[in-house]
Amino acid sequence: MAEVVLERVNKIYPNGYHAIHDLDLDIKDGEFLVLVGPSGCGKSTALRMVAGLEEISGGEMRIGPTLVNDVHPKDRDIAMVFQNYALYPHMTVADNIGFALKLAKIPKAEIEERVGKAAAILDLTEQLPKKPGQLSGGQRQRVAMGRAIVRQPKAFLMDEPLSNLDAKLRVQMRAEIAALQRDLGVTTIYVTHDQVEAMTMGDRVCVLKRGFLQQVDTPQNLYDSPDNVFVAGFIGSPSMNLMRLTLGGTADNMSVEIEGQTLKIDPQVAQAKPALAGFLGREVVVGIRPEDMEDAEIATDAPGDRKLRTHCTLIEALGSELIVHFPLAVESFSIMDAEFEGEDAVEQAKDEQGRTIYVGRFSPRSRARIGSELEVVVDTARFHFFDPESGNAIRG
């Protein structure tokens, strides 16, 4: 067990593609760090560099006290779980789990004991004599985990280990892996593109975009105070509504105007974010989480300058909540670049009049219907503000 430190690590491929830019990460001993980002953000590359499968083009990487830039993967004392599990198809489960120990010339009796222990932890004891081809997806995933834990390495590296499982199994394995990691206390780096996995599993989450580090923090901090508009839009589902609005009013009484309706910004916000005064009369990106909106029929005590009139275009009833879609004639701010992010770049939905569709998360008691008039109460105290030029959060 050890800490993993990356200092100004760069990855430049022979074809000149710069995949990772000056990545600084300090992963503490026993910490569960999740790397998350859209495809092509360099998260897998970063992980593979820690594993030693990709060369480090610049910067320093340490596992424990050792500088590992030029250390062969097998000498780094790390274990990796691959997306496709990478089980050896011609070996039994027991041989798969014990392969690394066998190569390390550990006595047979000890291998057997350690494999047995790992199998017991993962509930694989009965599968030990079988071949991987005879196992279900979930069992294969467990074997891949078993191969990692049996070595008692300094760090676990996991590259989207759950993405080949069906949704239900994924939720189950998510909890199991997180619990296992806590029990074993092994430093873990986990790559995923699924932000739910990132939020639920990680002690800290590191958000990457195009090889640039965006923010590293605990899941809750990442959600509550994103450093920039990308993190704000990427973390959270449904994602944060991002609107380009002009900041009006005065320093003590700020407001924004949406379709001619004025929303008064809570004075607390202006106090907490003094830098906001500098943007008076200029365009800002306003971020509103869906749960900071509510049906006016339920939040009856809301003042009139916190409401928006619109109509409902779509409702997704999830039982515990309603995801309500409504159009507003306000230009949205896209965090994805279609040219770069490819399939991940989702065109912001628009209605027939070209108005952008925004999303609110309402109480299930709301009686909003598709096509009906809708009055939305907005909790302006929980607005997020971003500089439209740099994308950085406006704080203080």
Residue 76 or 174: which CB sits closer to another protein?
76
| 208 closest CA partner among 24, 394, 12 | 24
Q: Using CB under 8 A, which of the segments 79-87, 232-240, 279-287, 387-395 binds another protein?
A: 79-87
Residue selected from 58, 60, 88, 220 as contacting another protein according to rule CB under 8 A: 88
Q: Using CB under 8 A, which of the segments 73-81, 174-182, 267-275, 365-373 binds another protein?
A: 73-81
Q: Is residue 262 part of the contact set for another protein (CB under 8 A)?
A: no
- Structure tokens belonging to residue 249: 């009013």
- Structure tokens belonging to residue 372: 């009906």
Residue selected from 62, 130, 131, 307 as contacting another protein according to rule CB under 8 A: 131
- Structure tokens belonging to residue 119: 């199998």
The site that binds another protein (CB under 8 A) totals a number of residues, namely: 30
Residue 159 or 295: which CB sits closer to another protein?
159
**Binders of another protein among 23-52, rule CB under 8 A?**
51-52
Q: Using CB under 8 A, which of the segments 75-83, 192-200, 237-245, 249-257 binds another protein?
A: 75-83
Residue selected from 11, 147, 289, 384 as contacting another protein according to rule CB under 8 A: 147
Cβ contact 20:9 at 8 Å: yes
Q: Is residue 100 part of the contact set for another protein (CB under 8 A)?
A: yes
Q: Is residue 212 part of the contact set for another protein (CB under 8 A)?
A: no
Residue 196 or 329: which CB sits closer to another protein?
196
> How far apart (Å, rounded) are the C-alpha atoms in residues 105 and 101?
6
Shortest separation between residue 13's beta carbon and another protein, angstroms = 13
Residue 122 or 328: which CB sits closer to another protein?
122
- Structure tokens belonging to residue 258: 């949406």
Q: Is residue 80 part of the contact set for another protein (CB under 8 A)?
A: yes
Residue selected from 30, 64, 73, 138 as contacting another protein according to rule CB under 8 A: 73
Shortest separation between residue 183's beta carbon and another protein, angstroms = 22
| 283 closest CA partner among 340, 252, 342, 242 | 242
Q: Is residue 53 part of the contact set for another protein (CB under 8 A)?
A: yes
Shortest separation between residue 92's beta carbon and another protein, angstroms = 12
CB under 8 Å to 372, separation ≥6 — which residues? 311, 312
Residue 66 or 246: which CB sits closer to another protein?
66
CA torsion 38→41→43→45, rounded to 10°? 140
Residue selected from 12, 86, 269, 349 as contacting another protein according to rule CB under 8 A: 86
Q: List residues binding another protein (CB under 8 A).
A: 51-53, 72-74, 78-80, 82-90, 99-100, 103-104, 131-134, 137, 147, 163-164
